[in-house]
Chain A
Amino acid sequence: MSGRAVVRTFGEVLITAGALLLLFVAYQVWWTNVVANRAVAAQTNRLLNQFEHPPPGLGPGPSPVEPGQAFALMYNTALGDHWNRPVVQGVTLADLARGIGHYPQTAMPGQVGNFAVAGHRATNGEPFAYLDRVGRGDDVIVRTDLSWFVYRVTDVSIVAPTDVDVIDPVPGRPGAVPNEQLITLTTCSPRWASYARLIVHGVLVATSPESAPPAAVGGG
C-alpha cells in the first residue's frame, strides 16, 4: 500500500468515527427523548382516565402495583405550571425511560416512611432536567387513584452515588423507625454527568381526596 493510500484510509476512519459520535449524540439528546415522551404521554393519558373514571369496586387504600406499572402522577409547580410526569414502579433503566421511577423497597405515596423516586436529569425524557430549580418551601404533589398528596421541600443536597441512606425510611439514619411521611427525589448531578446525585427531600403537609385537587394544580 502506498503512503498516500495509508493517509486516505486513516482519513476515512477518522471521518467515520466522527460521524458515529455525532450520531450517538443525536441519539442521546434527541431520539431517547422522542421515545420516552411518547411513552410518558400514553401513560399520563391512561392514568388521568383511570383517576377521573375509577373502575367500580375500587377498595380503600392503595391498589397493588406491578413492577413497571405507572401508578401515580407527580406535579411540581417549581418545574412549570403544567409540569407533570407519571411515576413507574421500579428504577431499572427500562422503567426510568418511561417516567419517574419509584424505588420499590420504599414507601408508597402518603405512607409513613420515605416515598423515594429517581428520574433522568438529561436524555430519556429528562423529567428532572431542572430539578435544581426546586428549593426549600416548594411543593411536590403526588396524585394517586384515590388521593392528592402535597409534600413540601425541606432540604436539597448533593451526595455521592453510594449514599443509599438518603432513601431510608428516616434519611441518614439506617434502621430507624419512621414516624413521618417523607418524599425523596434523586437524579444525577451535574446534569450531563453522573459522578454525584442531586437529592430533594420533602415532608407531607396536606392530603385531599381525588375529587378535591390542591390549589396549586387548579383546585379550589
Chain B
Amino acid sequence: MTVYASLWRHLPGPWPVKVICCVVLAMGLVALLFLVVFPWLDPRLPFNHVTVSAALVAT
C-alpha cells in the first residue's frame, strides 16, 4: 500500500471530511516549508550571492 493511499484510508469520516483534512494537512505542510525549511535551505544554495568577497560565499 502506498503512502497517499494509506493516508486517505486512515483519515476519519466520509469523503468530504477526508478532503477537508487533506487540504488542512497540505496547508500546514506548505507553511512549515515556507516559514522554516526553505529559509534554512536558501542561503545554502548557490543562487543568490550578490556580493564580492575573497571566499566564495556570500558575506
- CA gap between A78 and B4 in the complex, in Å: 52
Q: Is the interface of A mostly helix, strand, loop or mixed?
A: mixed
- Taking a contact as CB atoms closer than 8 A, the residue among A5, A8, A122, A199 that contacts B48 in the complex is A122
Query: In A148-176, which residues have CB < 8 Å from any B CB?
Result: 159, 161-164, 166-167
- Taking a contact as CB atoms closer than 8 A, the residue among A12, A101, A121, A167 that contacts B4 in the complex is A12
* A12 touching B3, Cβ below 8 Å: yes
- CA gap between A97 and B3 in the complex, in Å: 37
* B52 touching A161, Cβ below 8 Å: yes
* A9 touching B3, Cβ below 8 Å: yes
- CA gap between A162 and B33 in the complex, in Å: 32
* B1 touching A5, Cβ below 8 Å: yes
* A103 touching B51, Cβ below 8 Å: yes
| Interface flag for A119 (CB, 8 Å) | yes
Binding-face segment, A54-62, A187-195, A207-215: A187-195
Q: Which residue of B lies closest to A198 (CB)?
A: B50
- CA gap between A31 and B41 in the complex, in Å: 14
Measured CB to CB, the closest approach of chain B to A151, in angstroms, equals 19
Q: A92-B59, A93-B58 given as contacts; is B52 within 8 A of A164 (CB)? A: yes
* B52 touching A166, Cβ below 8 Å: yes
| Interface flag for A91 (CB, 8 Å) | yes
Q: Could you tell me which B residues sit within 8 Å of A by CB distance?
A: 1-4, 30, 33-34, 38, 41-43, 46-54, 56, 58-59
The 26 sampled A-B contact pairs (Cβ below 8 Å) are A8-B2, A9-B3, A12-B4, A20-B33, A23-B38, A24-B33, A31-B38, A32-B42, A91-B51, A93-B48, A93-B58, A96-B51, A96-B58, A120-B48, A121-B50, A161-B52, A162-B53, A166-B52, A186-B50, A186-B51, A187-B50, A192-B47, A194-B47, A194-B50, A197-B50, A197-B52
The 5 lowest CB-CB distance pairs between A and B, nearest first, are A194-B49, A118-B51, A27-B38, A188-B50, A8-B2
